[in-house]
Amino acid sequence: MTERGEPRAARSTGLLDPEDIEVYISLLPRLPGPADGAPPEAVRRLVRSGLLHESGEAGEGRDRVTYAAANPALVCGRRAKGILDEAQEMILRLLRNQETLAPAVDAYLSQRDPGGYKVHSGMPHINAAIEMATRECREEILTSQPGGPRSAEVLATALPPTLDMLRRGARMKTIYQHNARSGPATQAYVRAIEEHGAEVRTLDENFDRLIIFDRKVAFIPGTEDRSVAVEVRIPAVVSFLAVVFERSWLRAVPFTPPGRDRATARITDEMELAILRHVVAGDKDAVTAQQLGISVRRCQTYIARLSDRLGSRSRAQLGYLIAKSGLLEANVPDEPPKDPEHTPVHAASLSTVG
């Protein structure tokens, strides 16, 4: 019972259906009075809902019962108050539940974060840890995703939690390698997250997967085969990784699909320059392709084109001609980084963020 003596069930909007309302409307011209001809069950529901009030002398038959109509707006107001009272009660229960569980939460986080890091083995455990960090993220996510275009399956899994995070107001920066621009699924994914405020750039350099949430927790690789990831919560380490990411971000260019635009021309030039550096260093095609995130065949196509352009007949002659041409010296940045270039580590396959 409520404080007004009304059964709790009467506050539910599910008590009445359209037929009951039609009965109420048909009775209005005759009320106060008996409900002759009206379906008994509908009348009982209307009484329970508060839309009808019944009166009659004790012991009298039902034919002596008369009914009066109540104002539906007042009934609705009482129901609304009841629903709000229940909602407030539910909120208080949730708060008490959180207070009760607080010691368990603290214990869990302590176990989850022994010494500032935790090792996750196997993709199910890795993705579960990243999914949890994604749900907890409120301010910013930084992520590096090397390799070529992402698979449609991976991106379809990554998109919903990423959009949820962006809708919460979190900022997002993602770095791909240049050749990721050619994948239709990647293009669609980038368009979707950019519409929600994310920023995406590409880089011609070699790097590996890295995810940083709110500059408080980072996921880095644990093994070369990417079957192990390390969740790091040591502030100094996470801060260092964030600085490394930001340096790469400054060198990257905004993501645009392939086309005849200045950004694409710049990317092509940067890719060729990167290959030139590898040729001069004596790297094999497979090594160069792996470092730049492209196929060996594409790397060989670039090298063949450069050989034709410089008139080279051999790999050794190509290296000599590149060095003699001064192409690399002409494209050295005006202000090279003072710190040694960071060598990225291998990261786990962090599919939940694209």
Summarised one tens digit per residue, pLDDT across range 5-14 is: 444 433 344 4
Task: Tell which residue, 231, 242, 314, has the closest CA to residue 279.
Answer: 314
Distance of alpha carbon 301 from alpha carbon 309, whole angstroms = 12
User: Going by C-beta distance under 8 Å and a sequence separation of 6 or more, which residues neighbour residue 15?
Assistant: 9, 45, 48, 49
**What is the pLDDT, as a whole number, of residue 171?**
92
Q: Last residue of some domain: 95, 112, 129?
A: 112
Is residue 164 a contact partner of residue 192, using CB atoms and an 8 Å limit?
no
Helix (H, G, I), strand (E, B) or coil at 15: helix
pLDDT, tens only, 149-159: 778 888 888 88
Q: Are both 29 and 128 inside the same structural domain?
A: no
Residue of 228 and 307 predicted with greater confidence: 228
**What is the pLDDT, as a whole number, of residue 175?**
93
Q: Are both 173 and 26 inside the same structural domain?
A: no
Q: Are both 104 and 151 inside the same structural domain?
A: no
Q: Are both 210 and 97 inside the same structural domain?
A: no
Q: Are both 95 and 195 inside the same structural domain?
A: no
Q: Are both 103 and 239 inside the same structural domain?
A: no
Q: Are both 314 and 349 inside the same structural domain?
A: yes
Q: Are both 64 and 192 inside the same structural domain?
A: no
**How many separate domains does the chain show?**
2
**What is the pLDDT, as a whole number, of residue 158?**
85
Across the range 102-110, mean pLDDT stands at: 73
Q: Are both 5 and 30 inside the same structural domain?
A: yes
CATH of the domain at 283: 3.30.870.10
pLDDT band at 231; cut points 50, 70, 90: very high
Q: Are both 140 and 101 inside the same structural domain?
A: no
Report angle CA 153, 156, 160 to the nearest 5 degrees: 155
pLDDT, tens only, 137-195: 889 999 998 877 778 888 888 888 889 889 988 999 999 988 788 788 888 899 899 98
| Weakest-pLDDT range from 40-54, 180-194, 241-255, 297-311 | 297-311
Across the range 55-84, mean pLDDT stands at: 74
Q: Last residue of some domain: 87, 112, 137?
A: 112
**What is the pLDDT, as a whole number, of residue 292?**
77
Share of the chain above pLDDT 90, in %: 13
pLDDT band at 131; cut points 50, 70, 90: confident
pLDDT band at 208; cut points 50, 70, 90: confident
Q: Is the peptide bond before 32 cis (omega within 30 degrees of 0)?
A: yes
Q: Last residue of some domain: 64, 93, 112?
A: 112
Tell whether pTM > 0.75: no
* Residue 274: domain span: 119-354
**What is the pLDDT, as a whole number, of residue 58?**
42
pLDDT band at 266; cut points 50, 70, 90: low
**What is the pLDDT, as a whole number, of residue 111?**
64
Task: Tell which residue, 239, 234, 230, has the closest CA to residue 208.
Answer: 230
Q: Are both 46 and 104 inside the same structural domain?
A: yes
Q: Are both 198 and 123 inside the same structural domain?
A: yes
Is 23 a residue whose pLDDT tops 80?
Answer: yes
